[in-house]
Amino acid sequence: MTSQLPTTQWHKTIGDATLADAILDRLLHNSHKLKLKGESMRKVMSEFNESDHSE
């Protein structure tokens, strides 16, 4: 599963603390978390494509 919403904000977003705890417990048990940095590749590719068309 992938999400752009940090797990620290799930309780607020889901609105029910018990439900959020249950979901997070099941998803995060034996999981690996990858925190990506840098620009969105969609943004980078969009800027690259725009420069191709401006000449």
Q: Would you call 40 helix, strand, or coil by DSSP?
A: coil
Determine, yes or no, domain membership for 27.
Answer: yes
Instruction: Give the model's pLDDT for residue 16.
Output: 92
Residues 6+ apart with CB under 8 A from 52: none
Tracing tokens 């969105």 back to the chain, one arrives at: 40
Determine, yes or no, domain membership for 5.
Answer: yes
Instruction: Give the model's pLDDT for residue 51.
Output: 64
Determine, yes or no, domain membership for 55.
Answer: no
CA atoms within 13 A on the CB side of 25: 6
Instruction: Give the model's pLDDT for residue 18.
Output: 93
Determine, yes or no, domain membership for 44.
Answer: no
Q: Is the pLDDT of residue 52 over 70?
A: no
Determine, yes or no, domain membership for 17.
Answer: yes
Q: What range defines the domain where residue 6 resides? A: 1-32
For the question of whether the overall pTM of this predicted structure is more than 0.75, the answer is: no
Determine, yes or no, domain membership for 12.
Answer: yes
Q: Is the pLDDT of residue 10 over 60?
A: yes
Instruction: Give the model's pLDDT for residue 13.
Output: 93
Give the chain's domain count: 1
What digits encode the pLDDT tens for the residues 18-39?
999 999 899 888 888 887 888 8
Determine, yes or no, domain membership for 18.
Answer: yes
**How far is it, in rounded angstroms, from Cα 25 to Cα 43?**
33
